[in-house]
Amino acid sequence: MSQTPETKTQIRLSGFGGQGIILAGQILGKAAALFEGRNAVMTQSFGPEARGGACSADVVLSDGRIHYPRVVVPDVLVVMSEEAARTYGPGAGEGSLVLVNEELVRTVPKGPGIRVRGIPATRIAEGLGQVMAANIVMLGFLAAESGTVGREALEKALLDTLPPASHELNRKAFAAGYEYAGTLGTKDQT
């Protein structure tokens, strides 16, 4: 998705509490603001459960002013869990790109102009030895599939945010998600 000074990009990351959705939103906003010189704002939403309930991080990016901090209709919707799909999926609109964690999501948002791309983010993270890295796998996939924030900026934000002891794992997780996008070709899932 290309940016012009008059446009903004609305991204909603969603999943369940404990999947690192809020952290992924922080990294995404930081990448755009600090390493690409754009404006970014993030808001977050949690279900009543501390862990396991649906949660989301809304990230709005723009080269111009951001007048409203919430996502109205996402340009990109990331869905990491089934509950998040049921809660946030209906908000996807025409032209939305929906990125789905294939192992945990059965209810895939559908509608006119919605493009769906899937990745086995949880399985990839497990293969790297840490299921908790699924959010970082998804960030790599988001970078490759949407083009909303550049790979280099996201990698810098990732390393700037996370503790040094986790850098190697998170670099691998991010690269795995990014590279997985290249194996899909151009066919959307239905």
What's residue 18's pLDDT?
87
With 0.85 as the threshold, say if the pTM is over it: yes
Contact 125, 175 (CB under 8 A): no
Cα–Cα distance for residue pair 1/96, rounded to 1 Å: 11
CATH number of 8-182: 3.40.920.10
Cα–Cα distance for residue pair 61/11, rounded to 1 Å: 8
Position 161 confidence tier, pLDDT thresholds 50, 70, 90? very high
- Domain residue spans of the chain: 8-182
Contact 140, 176 (CB under 8 A): yes
Bridge partners, 61 (sequence order): 9, 40
Contact 101, 92 (CB under 8 A): no
What's residue 61's pLDDT?
97
Position 188 confidence tier, pLDDT thresholds 50, 70, 90? low
Position 132 confidence tier, pLDDT thresholds 50, 70, 90? very high
What's residue 4's pLDDT?
45
Contact 77, 109 (CB under 8 A): yes
Structural tokens at position 79: 């869905």
CA distances from 88 to 24, 35, 45, 93, 172 (A): 17, 29, 11, 11, 29
pLDDT tens figures, 45-97: 876 555 667 899 999 999 999 999 899 999 999 999 999 999 999 999 999 99
What's residue 185's pLDDT?
66
pLDDT tens figures, 1-19: 444 445 899 999 999 988 9
Mean of per-residue pLDDT scores for the chain: 91
